[in-house]
Amino acid sequence: MADTLTIRTAGIVTVQDLGRVGRSRYGLPANGAADQHSARVANVLCGNDERAPLLEITALDFACVPSADILVAVTGAPADVTVDGGVRPQWEPVPVRAGETVKVSGIRQGLRVYLAVLGSFEADRLQGSCAPDTILGFGPALSAGDELVLRTACPPLDHPFSRIPLFRLKAPVPPFPAGWTIDVTDGPDRAEFGDTGQRLFNGPFTVTPRSNHIGLRLQGEVPRRVTKGEVLSRGVPIGAVEVPAGDELLVLHRGRGVTAGYPVLAVVTATGLSALGQVRPGQTIRFRHRTLDQAVAAHRAQRNAVDALRSRVHTAFEALRIRAPAGARSRGTGSAGA
């Protein structure tokens, strides 16, 4: 019998990875973890390839029980993490004994939490990714009682004094503010908005409840297109800030369709996209303009921080004789784009 991870309290939880990179040319949305940085870090903390399947927990409480000793890492929005009632840290590896209950509750400030397991677990794939696609009906949300087949068990880890092993790997934890600042670069249609384009940076925009993984709807003082004529449908990137004729902005996220016909005023940067994946309905967003060079530098700095964490994890796991999955040290190729 294979060892399993059994879902006890489901809330809203899906099996995710970094999405279908390079499949937009075939008309497939990228999908994948909304907060790519937190998902990457969770897998790296478990010694996994950063593209390995993991759980994305959205807003509501979650609980699971393994049938074998495992090592987990919980990242993303601040939350209360417990193992059989004992408080455990986020953004660090956490040993869990067979039969113990891992609970994530009280998700706050952000919207999504990520739970990775050493060795990951079995998952169905579509075009090389396990990421759900709501349009195709692939990858439904998990329910209480569902079981995930674990690929690797982790021998029990023990501390000679506290009995609870503690890691201090200093993962790069992003801020989770009450009001978010999202970096954007100029979009292809910036010139069509004239002076009204500055409205994007002047005031806050409020995220409406109609937002989801496909895109966020924002209310505020919307820029207005000053040129005439139709905009032909064309390919649009993840992070496109679209301006329809109404009173809302649309910001496309990872579940977006690959073509659209609204003018694109700006494009959210790769680091901004991960932050955008944590914004809750009712929270406010301010946009900050960045050049392409600034956006690339910020992305490289974030990725370099994850690479440095990967080296620290490898050193710690070797010292503790924790066997990481084969190939986990190599840098993943997941992209914020498609």
Question: For the stretch 24-49, what's the b/e string if a residue is b when 16 or more beta carbons lie within 10 angstroms of its beta carbon?
Answer: beeebbbbbbbbbbbbbbbbbbbbbb
Predicted pLDDT of residue 334: 42
Predicted pLDDT of residue 99: 97
Cα distances (Å, whole numbers) of residue 17 to 20, 123, 168, 273 = 9, 10, 25, 15
Please state the pTM of the whole predicted model.
0.94
CB atoms under 10 Å from CB of 67, counted, come to: 16
How buried is residue 254: exposed, middle or buried, by Cβ count under 10 Å (0-12/13-18/19+)? buried
Q: Which residue carries 């439904």 as its tokens?
A: 140
User: What secondary structure letter does DSSP report for 141?
Assistant: P
Closest to 177 in 3D by CA, of 46, 300, 288: 288
Which helix (H) or strand (E) segment holds residue 310: the answer is helix 292-320
Distance separating alpha carbons of residues 44 and 117, to the nearest angstrom: 10
- Find the DSSP H helices in 10-54: 36-45
Secondary structure (3-state) at 199: helix
Distance separating alpha carbons of residues 197 and 293, to the nearest angstrom: 21
With residues binned 3-state (H G I as helix, E B as strand, rest as coil), the percentages for the chain, rounded to 5, are: 20, 30, 55
Strand partners, 150: 121
Distance separating alpha carbons of residues 310 and 41, to the nearest angstrom: 9
**Along the 338 residues of the chain, how does pLDDT read in single tens digits?**
789 999 999 999 999 999 998 888 888 999 999 999 999 999 999 999 999 999 999 999 999 999 999 999 999 999 999 999 999 999 999 999 999 999 999 999 999 999 999 999 999 999 999 999 988 899 999 999 999 999 998 888 876 666 667 789 999 999 999 899 999 999 999 999 999 999 999 989 999 999 999 999 999 999 999 988 888 888 899 999 999 988 999 999 999 989 988 999 999 999 999 999 999 999 999 999 999 999 999 999 999 999 999 999 999 999 888 887 776 655 544 443 43
Residues 44 and 160: beta-carbon distance below 8 Å: no
Predicted pLDDT of residue 24: 84
- Token pair for residue 246? 């109404």
